[in-house]
Structure formats: C-alpha cells, structure tokens
A and B are shown apart, each in its own frame.
Chain A
Amino acid sequence: MVAIVSGVDSENNVRMEVELQGLYKTVPYGAVIDTGFTGGLVLPVFIAVDIGLEKVGASTIILADGSMMTLPTFLCKIKIGSRLSDVVTIIMGSEILIGMEALKNHRICISPGTGNVVVEDAASIEDYRRLNESLQRLVGDI
C-alpha cells in the first residue's frame, strides 16, 4: 500500500498529495480536499494551461452562493497513492481543489485537533481485510 501524504495546513485546509497528469506535463501538488465540491477537480487557469487538459464538453454547476453557471468541462488524470483515474475538471479560482468524485475510492480520517489526516485506498483496505480473514480461517480463529 502506498502512503498518501496528507495533513492540515496552517490555514486549517485539509491537504493531500496528488499527481496531476496533464496532456503536456505531470506535476505533484498538495491539493485541498473540498468535500463541498461534488465534481472531481478544480484547477486555476494557469495550472490548466501549463499541464494541458482534454476538453470534453460543458456542465452546469451550482456554486456555494446559490448561483448556477455553465462551464467548460475537462478530463484530467489524477494519481492518488498508486491509483490513477480520470476526473472531471473545471477551471476556476486560485487553488487546486479535490472534490468528492476524485475521492470515491478512498477513505479519509481527519483529526482537526492534532492536524492528523489519514487517506487510504479503500480497495487496498478491503484486500487486506479479506487476506486477514483468510489467514484467520487457516489458523482456525474463525
């Protein structure tokens, strides 16, 4: 299992290390986890232009202030731990945000008091649980 570097920063943002694989460039980044964003990834325009994205169409989004916008929509590859997947990406703001769709295969445990954040690949946890159960059966614990 690949450890995913994560934690709470000085402004109380929960960050995790991801690798963005664009059409031209791959960049590592400590992105902010945004559980209020139901999509995959938000990128500032300067990063989107730098790494290159695949344009796929348009989508509507309702923002936190209640306004609705239709925005160009892109796909970007994102690597979290050892898992690489396509995520829907919109271009907005000045920070890289990781939304809920990008986290669909992970479990996150946040301890705001200590600043400790654990991000784990859900499939790896399930594999480990199954292996553990099999071993327990073999030695007669179950």
Chain B
Amino acid sequence: MDLDLSPKQIAEANEQYQRLKPTVEVKYPGQFIVIDPISKEYWIAPFLADAFRIAKNAYPERLFYSFKIGSESTMRG
C-alpha cells in the first residue's frame, strides 16, 4: 500500500526526531510524537490517535510521521 510520504520526507522526519530526542525522551517518555516533515512542527500526546488528530487539525491536507518516544517502533502487533 502506498505510504504517500516520500523516503525523503520520512528521512527528514527522522532527522527532526533525532534533534528532539535528547529533550523529549526526558520530558515525555512513552508518549507519542507526530512530526510534519514539511514544517518540522511536532505534536506530542499520551495516545497516538490524539497526537495525529491534533496534527491533522493543524494541517488537514498533510501527512505526518510518528514515533513512540524512547521506543524502537511506534506500535507492536
């Protein structure tokens, strides 16, 4: 299935997360962060759906990349 986010955008979101990591891993461990690869803005919430909803309200037409703060992946299944 098409991700719609390009590899470049995912790499940019990853770079932004690496920049934020030292701060957010201390302040918000276990919470979720959603990053806009275009503006580099980010939103943090205790639940992933809430973080995506806040981001989507800010930029309804954009797509975002998510991380679970301090974890290897956003979800496990």
Contacts and interface: CB of A to CB of B under 8 A. Distances in A.
Interface in A12-53: 34, 36-40, 42, 45
A133 to B, nearest CB: 27
A71 to B, nearest CB: 7
A8 interface: no
Interface residues of A, number: 36
B52 A73 contact: yes
A103 to B, nearest CB: 11
A64 interface: yes
A57 B34 contact: yes
Interface string A57-85: 11111111000101111010000000001
A63 B77 contact: yes
B65 A57 contact: yes
Interface SS of chain B = mixed
How big is the B interface, by class?
20 to 34
Given A62-B73, A99-B77, A86 B65 contact: no
Nearest to A56: B52
A55 interface: yes
Interface of B: 1-5, 10, 34, 47-50, 52-53, 55-56, 63-67, 72-77
Interface of A: 34, 36-40, 42, 45, 54-64, 68, 70-73, 75, 85-88, 90-92, 97, 99, 101, 104
Given A73-B66, A85-B49, 16 more contacts: A37-B75, A39-B48, A42-B77, A58-B10, A58-B63, A60-B67, A61-B74, A63-B77, A64-B77, A71-B1, A72-B4, A75-B49, A75-B53, A88-B52, A90-B77, A92-B77
